[in-house]
Amino acid sequence: MTVTLLGVVSGCVGGTEGSAPSSPAARATVSESASPMAYTSKAFAVPFTVSVPASLGTRPAQDTRTFLTWDRSESDKVRFLLPVVVYPPGKNEPVKPPGSYRAYLALLRGLTDYHAKWRDRVGTKVDGHPATLMTATTDWSLNGTLGCPEADGDAHDDCYGLQPEYTQRLAVIDIGARTPLVSWTTVNTDQQRDTAAEFARFEAMLRSVRFSDAS
């Protein structure tokens, strides 16, 4: 699959690859009141179909060339992002994302110098594509450090990064294009939600992803 995105530099990651996530969250049981529904992206630059649990609703909040997201509530989200730019920690100007999947992972790991914490890292595959799953928390707001769906996005209002009130289960997927595909779910840790169940739901969605050959 070859995808060209304007203003986006190439993406690639490390880690042991497996056939499915093996983290504690993946082994949790998630109960849904209704069967998941298949959703096929409409505008996203890397077309795919995913099984969406009823708890997220059947329709995404956004489906654009670089951003596909389900926002059921302020603390219940699943996102897919092709970052056009990123904001380095402490910087006011965005830059192009790292040029490979492995380099993007190195960027994320570098956030530990700015109070980010990573745990439960596991290598896996998403529809045959190498991927790395990690759980993220932070003591400081790191606005825009995951990336922005638009080149002129404001770090605080339009872009995505780690936040102290949230725990995120995040996947970086090597799609062989000029940027990695970044996906995550967000759980508000102040609300004492069942993090393991939320993460298991997210990982089940990743296992259901089927990329199209279209570009």
| pLDDT (tens digit per residue) in 129-187 | 999 999 999 999 999 999 999 999 999 999 999 999 999 999 999 998 778 999 999 98
Separation CA 62–CA 34 (nearest Å): 22
Instruction: Name, in order, each residue with C-beta under 8 angstroms of 210's C-beta and a sequence gap of 6 or more.
Output: 48, 49, 50, 127
Separation CA 57–CA 59 (nearest Å): 6
pLDDT at 55: 87
Separation CA 178–CA 98 (nearest Å): 9
- DSSP-based three-state secondary structure for 60: coil
| pLDDT (tens digit per residue) in 53-74 | 988 987 999 999 999 999 987 7
Mean pLDDT of 36-50: 96
pLDDT at 24: 44
Q: Which amino acid type is present at position 18? A: G
125: tokens are: 């595959």
Compute how many other C-beta atoms are within 10 angstroms of the C-beta atom of residue 155: 21
Label residue 192 by pLDDT band (50, 70, 90): low
